[in-house]
Structure 1
Amino acid sequence: MRQISILILLFSLTITVSSKAQESLRDEISYEYLDKLIAVAKKNYPKVKMYEARIEGGQIGIKRARLSYFDIISFSYLLSPSSTFAANPNLLNGYQFGFFINIGSLLQKPSVIKQARTELAALTFEKEAYDLNLASEVQKRYFTYVQHLILLRIKTSSLLDSESAVKQVRYKFEKGELGLENYNNALNALSGQQQVKITAETDVLIAKSSLEELLGEKLDNIK
């Protein structure tokens, strides 16, 4: 009966700590801090920079298409030297200038510019969609990170309770009030809590690393 009482006590303490942590979960989440994380991710993540470079290239393409209007106009000149043998020496003598317009190219320019604008708009919409996906992924990984932090605190508190319970069991065992089996069970329970805490610490590190992958810098550097 005493062994069962000890186990029930440890289980009750764990449930109590867990319930308190769940009640304070929303208090652990800072949406202001989350907005900072999203802004950092949009600034540093390589794929965002790739979209920005493609949009810049699209803007240059529009300018180039507009400037290409000058390509449809060509200029030429001809020098005709004076000749004393000509019947009329004043006819077609000196420089002759000419301007030529490629009508086919002129008609194509509006569609070329429209295509460049359409491609730029498509790139812009694609980047906006990716920004939304990135923000959503940062949010998910931030929530996961906070969740594992809370779970780590729960496991740490449970471990402290187990250590306290083992001290009491050891005291009673040394006084002869509990048998060796009860003492070993308490030690095994403590060992299990220690392993659970190590697993929780690992989960925190993994969640933190996963979030930092999107941020492009250490989470500790973002205040």
Structure 2
Amino acid sequence: MNKTVRTLLIVAVLAVAFFAIWKSGLIETVSDFDAFRAMIERAGFWGYFVYVLIFIAAAVFSLPASVITITGGVVFGPVLGALLALTGATVGAAAAFLVARYLARGFIVEKFGENAIFKKIEAGVEKNGKDFLILTRLVPVFPYNIQNYAYGVTNLNFGMYVIISAITMAPGAFIYAYMAGEIAVNGISTKLFIQLIIAGILLFGVSQIPKILAKKKGIDMSDIK
């Protein structure tokens, strides 16, 4: 099959899939905590798989993920909810990366290659490699879902991309899911207040990693802003 025809066919399939998701009302559901929670709970045992699949779809189609993460902590508990959220987010990021690299690379480069974010990421990876990925994952300058596709058209190693993405997403996934699960189980308490302080300290510590890494590697932080 001609490469151009194959690319257009894949893009068409993705477009149809997104249209189906939109028509099903899933976008509205994952934006509504109560509705999404009810849907996962109704799924029973299959709720685990449904949850992860929806998280993957959120990454591939750039759907809102905050409610999904919080719902995981409430429905499945702090630890399991965080693990499921991290699994879904990592697989989804990997899927978007592979779509950009192998399935729709030509289309993405043609349509978005001149986009400022894409150009900065491409230049950053060329100059600093995986260190640039770490920085942009920890410093929320570029939209997360756009990064997934942008990195797919760079020369970044897929395995390294997945590992770094999982590690850098883990703190946020665990903190948000844990806090949501704790509130659902024990409500607002002194224990929660102390945990929030600890979580704040941890997030602050994580936010300092990019600065330390940039200084050690000699990377100009203005390159990613």
Query: TM over 0.5, yes or no?
Result: no
Q: Which structure dedicates a bigger proportion of its chain to strand?
A: 1
Structure ranking higher on relative contact order (CA contacts 8 Å, 6+ apart): 1
Q: Which structure dedicates a bigger proportion of its chain to helix?
A: 2
TM-score, normalising length: structure 2: 0.31
TM-score, normalising length: structure 1: 0.32
